[in-house]
Structure 1
Amino acid sequence: MMSAPADLRNASSCAGKSLAVETGGSTVAIPPMPDYNGRILAYTSAAVIIVSGVLQGVFPQWTLWLVAAALLWPHIAHAISRRTFLRQSPRIRQKMLFADCMGGGVFIGGIGLVAIPSVSVALMLMFSCLIVGGIRQWFFGVGFMAAGVAASVAVVGPADTLQSPLLTSIIAIASTGLYICVTAFYSHQQARALMLAKTQIQNQREQSIALSHKLSKYLSPQVWQSIFTGERDVRLETQRKKLAVFFSDIKGFTELSEEMEPEALTELLNHYFNEMSEVALKYGGTIDKFVGDSIMVFFGDPTSRGQRADAFACVSMAIEMRKHMKIMRQKWRSQGIKTPLEIRMGISTGYTTVGNFGAENRMDYTIIGKEVNLASRLESLAEPGEILVSYETFSLIKDKIMCRDKGEITVKGFAKPVPIYEVVDFRRDMGPNRSFLEHEHSGFAMYLDSDKITEKERESILAALEDAADRLRREEEDA
């Protein structure tokens, strides 16, 4: 019979060692009653019961030999579990407890099944089995104990009477109660320590999640997700992939920076980046970097929906950015910014080298290659509000997006002139049934995307347009 501190599965296989849970920088001690001490307590209780029974004549004289066995077995079990090949067994505690159950069964049969001492010993064994290994351990422990009882009764037979003297019964009950109380106290201490450890681990987990979300602001969401889910290792490595690469900048930003105060310029630029980032993430783009007023985005890594879908998503993002820029320009104009800011964009599709570049202690997840240079070149050649794409991109999107041939350009790194195309709009939005309309003059701007307008908003817009039309007509008549 041995003690039963709460088992931490893989942390408690060595008898006599205190258990501890590491929680970040601190260690929460879990004070167990070691198996060695618990077994000594249990077998000493059994020895006291034997001596009491022999003195009162309820047990035969030969059972005094069991006292010596009870006092020696805890030391033998300790040596077996610490100094033999069994010490490497992950379930040494359960196996040693099976031996205790077998020995306890032999003892119960040896004293002739005298009721209260037998029940007391059986209770200590079953209590230990339940705490150490649960129902499964209890079930097998009872089996081993029953086998020991059957073997012993077959040899010595049952006692003449199953009743025991009052003093022997009191000693048996008191010994069992002491063992159970001491073991339960240490189990309670372990449970409290484990709850404290669980609370600390939960707090550290919440802190780690909060910190990871803060760090995620410095990475593209897709890259952050792949790192924190374990899909990607943080080491210097690259691979070749076919990606759609996007560059954009603001035409007129240099002139605006000369007119505005740095604080106001910073607020405007951050607002622009925030709005464009939301559009990029909406279409699944990996935001590479912001440089000045430029944005670099690529599609196809860490996740890809296929070359055609990646290219289409990239160009769709560019079209929405161009439309969204009209809304932002009106908002800036209402804030007193008169310089007409327009976005220009370039897109190229092809094989690039993507991955972690830099040093072991400072990495940058980015892409390099001639397709990156081509996308940057297309962006610098684009007119305000224009989206230029390479031939590779055009071939992947031409069935869904209308493009206009813009001839060829010479780009460093390409042996032949490169055909380029201007993105006009989605084919579904061309013609009289198009959902997007825009018209802009000095003193007037209209941006309409009918797919995004609710019925209630449609009535309000119609009323505003009718009011504006009536006013223009009256002013024309007065003129």
Structure 2
Amino acid sequence: MSATLNVGKSAVIDASQPVAIPPLPDYSGRLLGYTAAAVMIGVGILENVFANWMYWLIAGALVWPHITYVLTRKTFLNRVQRIRQHMLLVDCAIGGMFIGLLGLVAVPSVSVALMLMFSCLIVGGIKQWTFGVLLMVISLIIAIGIQGPAESFQSPLLTSITAMAATGLYICVTAFYSHQQARTLLMAKTQIQNQREQSIALSHKLSKYLSPQVWQSIFTGERDVRLETQRKKLAIFFSDIKGFTELSEEMEPEALTELLNHYFDEMSAVALKYGGTIDKFVGDSIMIFFGDPTTKGQREDAFACVSMAIEMRKHMKIMRQKWRSQGIKTPLEIRMGISTGYTTVGNFGAENRMDYTIIGKEVNLASRLESLADAGEILVSYETFSLIKDRIMCRDKGEITVKGFGKPVAIYEVVDFRRDMGPNRSFLEHEHSGFAMYLDSDKVTEKERRSILQALEEAADRLRNEDDL
């Protein structure tokens, strides 16, 4: 009669693999169950309840657990899935045969049936129990048909006590080891959960060094971490701060670092809003590209890139007002360059140190456009202009000669969204010494609208009063 006494020594848990159930407790449980059945038969023979030929059943009960162990561990059966459940069904068939050969003597028969049903419930639940009972009943009927029932279904007191004691011992020992297994599994689950939480925390820390799109593609398994590249058509963006070199000579390093980090933080938020892949920060420069690892198509990628640049230019006005209130008088402006074309994108470097970036002449062109741009200006290549011209107003800036390009390159200056041109535009700005106004009416709530109107009226009243004086 078999049970599963599954308990093992603590070991390092691999969270990627299911917790394995050791075979030795199966052997121990089966040995315990069959030994209990052999003791019951032996006592029954001594009390003349069973015939003497049943000594062969005792021998079979004591040998079978060892045979099963060899079959399931030393032969091809060790590769069979759900071998534990299959072998327990064999035990149920043997148990039913035992009960039939015992002649359905009540207490020993019930004891054997209880041990089998208890084992089935532990190992495989209701489904295993159902199949086990079915096989037990079938083999029992066959054995009764061969042997016939006993003359009396009652057993002497000693045989009954032995049967109940053996069954009780089997159930208690099996329950104890099942409890130990539950504790082991709980500890394993806790350890796996802790490892998972540590992995998540570590991955979030590492994500600070990668663009969110690249980090997500790596940790979801979409992209392998190996040296490989591919050719893709991307929109490439470069920007830097006009006047930053002069500012760095005026400010203390700590204050300059704080300003630069605040600038990068704000610009990164805008880039992520439009789905840009942040490649790197170099000094006060930012390099971003669109189209990898995710893309919405060439036209939408280019439009998202230019839209990001326009919002960065607008957002810079807000930041400039904040810096001015902090005592930074230098009027910091950003200049930007954008090109669209085929580049080589992927992991570059060595096996133990990689950098996910892009290379190609379009990268050089975007960098060249950024260096040619004036303060607050966005220059784009012709390829980019052709993809966005229906939604964004641009101004022809002529042609330039760029290393790596056989012909002069036509460039354009981004003016604004076409929807924001004319009297219905949502964006307004006005700056003078001592006065700065930036308004994007699409982003203003009704509550904020009243507050802004009140502030403008107070400012207008004050200016009128000073004129009267």
User: TM-score scaled to structure 2, two decimals?
Assistant: 0.96
Does the 8 Å contact 2:346/2:358 carry over to 1? yes
* Residue of structure 1 equivalent to 2:258: 267
Which AA in structure 2 matches 1:153?
I
Does the 8 Å contact 1:242/1:351 carry over to 2? yes
Q: How far off is 1:33 after superposition?
A: 6.0
Which AA in structure 1 matches 2:36?
S
Does the 8 Å contact 1:251/1:343 carry over to 2? yes
Measured in 2, the distance between the counterparts of 1:19 and 1:146 equals: 40
The answer to whether 1:348 aligns with 2:339 is: yes
5+ long unaligned stretches in structure 1: 8-16
Measured in 2, the distance between the counterparts of 1:46 and 1:78 equals: 18
Question: Secondary structure, in 3 states, of the residue corresponding to 1:34?
Answer: helix
Match of 1:288 among 276, 279, 282: 279
* Residue of structure 2 equivalent to 1:401: 392
Provide, for residues 221-247 of structure 1, a one-character-per-residue CA deviation record: whole Å limited to 9, x for no partner.
000000000000000000000000000
The answer to whether 1:253 aligns with 2:260 is: no
* Residue of structure 2 equivalent to 1:12: none
The answer to whether 1:4 aligns with 2:9 is: no
Which AA in structure 2 matches 1:149?
L
Match of 2:13 among 5, 18, 22: 22
Provide, for residues 131-177 of structure 1, a one-character-per-residue CA deviation record: whole Å limited to 9, x for no partner.
22222222221122112101110011111221112221111111001
Measured in 1, the distance between the counterparts of 2:174 and 2:336 equals: 74
* Residue of structure 1 equivalent to 2:55: 64
Measured in 2, the distance between the counterparts of 1:434 and 1:357 equals: 44
The answer to whether 1:94 aligns with 2:85 is: yes
Q: How far off is 1:23 after superposition?
A: 4.6
Moved more, 275-284 or 63-72: 63-72
The answer to whether 1:326 aligns with 2:339 is: no
Does the 8 Å contact 1:354/1:366 carry over to 2? yes
Measured in 1, the distance between the counterparts of 2:450 and 2:80 equals: 78
Match of 1:301 among 277, 292, 295: 292
* Residue of structure 1 equivalent to 2:166: 175
Match of 1:317 among 301, 308, 329: 308
Which AA in structure 1 matches 2:133?
V
* Residue of structure 1 equivalent to 2:430: 439
Measured in 1, the distance between the counterparts of 2:465 and 2:89 equals: 102
The answer to whether 1:476 aligns with 2:431 is: no
Q: How far off is 1:70 after superposition?
A: 1.2
Provide, for residues 29-69 of structure 1, a one-character-per-residue CA deviation record: whole Å limited to 9, x for no partner.
98886222222211111111111212222222322221111
- After superposition, residues 76-95 of structure 1 pair within 5 angstroms as 76-95=67-86
Provide, for residues 92-129 of structure 1, a one-character-per-residue CA deviation record: whole Å limited to 9, x for no partner.
22222222111111110011111111010011111112
* Residue of structure 2 equivalent to 1:199: 190
Measured in 2, the distance between the counterparts of 1:269 and 1:74 equals: 74
Measured in 2, the distance between the counterparts of 1:290 and 1:38 equals: 64
Which AA in structure 1 matches 2:144?
V
* Residue of structure 2 equivalent to 1:50: 41
The answer to whether 1:240 aligns with 2:244 is: no
Measured in 2, the distance between the counterparts of 1:394 and 1:145 equals: 81
Does the 8 Å contact 2:6/2:25 carry over to 1? no
Measured in 2, the distance between the counterparts of 1:122 and 1:6 equals: 21
Measured in 2, the distance between the counterparts of 1:141 and 1:358 equals: 61
User: TM-score scaled to structure 1, two decimals?
Assistant: 0.94
- After superposition, residues 327-406 of structure 1 pair within 5 angstroms as 327-406=318-397
Question: Secondary structure, in 3 states, of the residue corresponding to 1:22?
Answer: coil
Aligned residue pairs total 466
